[in-house]
Amino acid sequence: MAAGIDEVLVLDLARSEVKRWGGTHPSLTHAAWVLSSRWEREFESVFGPGARTALRNMLQERDFRGTQDELSRILRSAADRESALLALRRALKWPDRADTAAPGSTDSKPVDAAPDDSKPDAPAAPDKWPGPTAGAARVVRRVAADGATRGRTREALELAAQLLRAEPVVTALVGDKGVGRTTTLAAVAEVLAGLDQPIPVWSLGPDTIIANPAASLRMVLKDVTSPTVIAVDDLDVLASLSTDHPERDLLDALEEARFHDHARLLVVLNRRYSARLSVVSQKLADTLQTVPIRQLPPEQIAGIVTRTGRQLAARFDLELSGEALEAALTPAVEADGVVQPGLGISRLDLACARAYVEKAKTVGVAHLAAQTGGQSVAGESRDLAQTLRERVKGQDQAIAQVARRLTLTGAQLDLRPERPNGVFLFIGPTGVGKTQLAKELAAAEYGGYDRMIRLDMSEYAHDWAISRIAGPAPGYVGSTEPESWLTTKVVAMPRSLILLDEVEKAHPRVWNLFLQVFDAGRLTDGRGVTADFAETVIVMTSNLGVEEAKSRAIGFGESVGQVDDTRLLAAVKERLAPELLNRVDHIVVFRTLDIEAIEEIARSELAALMARLSSAGWVVALAPEVAPWLARTGHDPAYGARHLQRNIEQELLVLLAAAPTRSLRVDVVDGRLVATPGV
């Protein structure tokens, strides 16, 4: 293959254009459109000026020429880009004057040309919309009636009937992602194309609109001059229904458009967000005529996934094993967010790519499950524990418990995968690292401290506070402001650690809500949106029972203030409801920190501080005894390491702020810190 020509990339880009313009496979026309922008200079040299406009006309008229095999042969045999384009030009039978019209077209007006205000367009024929003008053509595409209804005849007929009603309504096709909504849209186009007076279907959606969807819709509707269906695909995405700031202007434009003289509106909506629509725009929801899309029978799903899976494998010249197909067809769980057959196709798409990267000959189950190597569960547990021990000092036993559980779920060996990856109750004295371990878990498991969602449960002490977890019912105060709800945060960030601080202070009704999360791994809020907690880790912290469990000095063998584990656990079990404790994977007891652990924390804190000061232009040398002095001065076992921050600020940073220079050495002299210029 010629240098600079990536056959796989060109084919992939052409497939994307198939989704945009229609067709059943990447044709020479689709490829020419792709190369007209990727190889712009060479393309214009070979095809001539104005060729891109002519190509757009061909695509809009569904003039798709040549096969995928023919395209592959052209790309493989070409010596360079120019020879590939010359071969493509010959195969397309491109005329000598490509700047005036596409092959077989009588339309000489460039679609991308700016409208000529001095020469108004002739009125369209009353029985057929000629298509969008230059501006609208950029945001809509024709939905092809390709004759492949694939089991969606019933829904297509009902949708067509709704669209032909005399009463102005907005029709909605509602279904889960992956169930076949796009296929159903094509089936509707086929039904309407077969009428005595055919009606075309044009669609716009997130794949055609970059910004301002309301303005784009109004621009398209302004063009429509005869009976036409305008389909708004993925309305939940286009209208940002899952966010705190939905596109209300777009929803208003849809409601207004139902009174259009010629256009009929069809919206495609994810079932998950259908209830949210009524919260954001009750006016539109009241006029919406919903047609739900049913799940296909298993044999039809298997046929679609098998056929598409083999096409995906053939793309990389791979074989697809029967075991991989069977695994791809396993039912969806809540965590998938996609249902069959779309889920199976998505699984096989990624599996084929993994097999290709590994230079395998056959796509197997291992590629589907991403279990293509790696270390043992025990090894992963040791690695996680080691990472956490480097960041959290003096709590090795607690870290080991947490690491064992999380590596078990990470290896997909837990018995209830729909539950959160881990539900932990951290108990122990204040200042011993409970919150710190939660933060470090968020960083280790999910990649950053910002992956932690923190709720102070003392703010949920009243029964009405339950509405701040999953929202009130529609119409109540706060129902239109979901940004603070826990469900909204989890939907936006499903892989996260949820910290519930001071759990004993929450109202019992709040805990009843969390029982469902701990057990089923999901929670539906007041909008009807279901938040999936299957990929979260939930950490609850509490000082419950610490005072009762503190040991007293008896004889010479026991230190004052040390917590007795047995008494602590007994106090916790006495105070918390059994149904809550039964859903906790581990009650993790944190020990009172000894002075050696406090000194380790001091050294770690000072190292981080010195790095920040260095980046700000400071040169500070600390004597070895500074860290132990800060750790021991003012130490009280009852407060753990909390005195360290105070000591570092009041003793060290105040000293540095008063120094006449930024180059200093800090020593301990006569029981206090002393800073001297120079290092």
Q: Per-residue pLDDT tens for 56-95?
A: 878 877 888 888 888 888 888 888 888 888 889 988 888 7
> Residue 376 — pLDDT band, cuts 50, 70, 90?
very low
The number of beta carbons lying within 10 Å of the beta carbon of residue 226 is 17
Q: Report the predicted TM-score, pTM, of the whole model to 2 decimal places.
A: 0.49
Question: Looking at per-residue confidence, does 336 or 9 come out higher?
Answer: 9
- 17 vs 13: CA distance, rounded Å: 7
- 88 vs 98: CA distance, rounded Å: 14
Angle of helix 81-91 versus helix 68-77 axis, rounded to 10: 150
pLDDT for residue 119? 35
Q: Which CATH superfamily is domain 134-292 in?
A: P-loop containing nucleotide triphosphate hydrolases (3.40.50.300)
Task: Determine if the peptide bond prior to 341 is cis (ω within 30°).
Answer: yes
Closest CA to 433 of 644, 631, 642: 642
Residue 114 has pLDDT above 80, yes or no: no
Cβ within 8 Å of residue 590, ≥6 positions away: 395, 398, 426, 427, 428, 429, 432, 433, 434
State which of 169-183, 267-281, 641-655 shows the largest mean pLDDT. Answer: 169-183
Q: Whole-angstrom distance between the N-terminal and C-terminal Cα of the chain?
A: 63
Encoded tokens for 376:
């043992």
pLDDT for residue 149? 55
> Residue 549 — pLDDT band, cuts 50, 70, 90?
low
Q: Are 226 and 129 in contact (CB under 8 A)?
A: yes
DSSP alpha helix (H) spans, 61-105? 68-77, 81-91
Question: Looking at per-residue confidence, does 135 or 667 come out higher?
Answer: 667
Question: Looking at per-residue confidence, does 635 or 380 come out higher?
Answer: 635
Q: What is the DSSP letter of 27?
A: -
Topology of the domain covering 377-589 = Rossmann fold (3.40.50)
- 134 vs 500: CA distance, rounded Å: 55
* Start and end residues for every CATH 1.10.8.60 domain found in the chain: 298-369, 595-677
* Start and end residues for every CATH 3.40.50.300 domain found in the chain: 134-292, 377-589
- 341 vs 178: CA distance, rounded Å: 6
> Residue 103 — pLDDT band, cuts 50, 70, 90?
low
Instruction: Read off the pLDDT of residues 614-658 as tens digits, 9 standing for 90 and up.
Output: 888 888 888 888 888 888 886 766 666 667 777 888 888 888 888
Under DSSP, is residue 564 helix (H, G, I), strand (E, B) or coil? coil
Helix (H) or strand (E) holding 41: helix 40-47
- 650 vs 270: CA distance, rounded Å: 56
**Mean pLDDT, rounded, of the chain:** 81
CATH number of 298-369: 1.10.8.60
Question: Looking at per-residue confidence, does 577 or 291 come out higher?
Answer: 291
Residue 104 has pLDDT above 80, yes or no: no
> Residue 128 — pLDDT band, cuts 50, 70, 90?
low
- 319 vs 312: CA distance, rounded Å: 10
Percent share of the chain, pLDDT over 90: 23
290-326 b/e with 16+ CB inside 10 Å = b? ebebeebeeebbbebbbebbbebbebeebebbeebbe
Q: Are 212 and 135 in contact (CB under 8 A)?
A: no
Q: What are phi and psi of 276, to 5 degrees?
A: -65, -35
Give the strands of the sheet with 228-232, arranged side by side: 141-142, 201-204, 228-232, 263-270, 170-175, 288-292
Closest CA to 495 of 457, 452, 528, 455: 452
Instruction: Read off the pLDDT of residues 585-595 as tens digits, 9 standing for 90 and up.
Output: 999 988 887 78
Q: Specify the CATH number for 595-677; select among 1.10.8.60, 2.60.40.10, 3.30.43.10, 3.30.450.20.
A: 1.10.8.60
- 237 vs 153: CA distance, rounded Å: 26
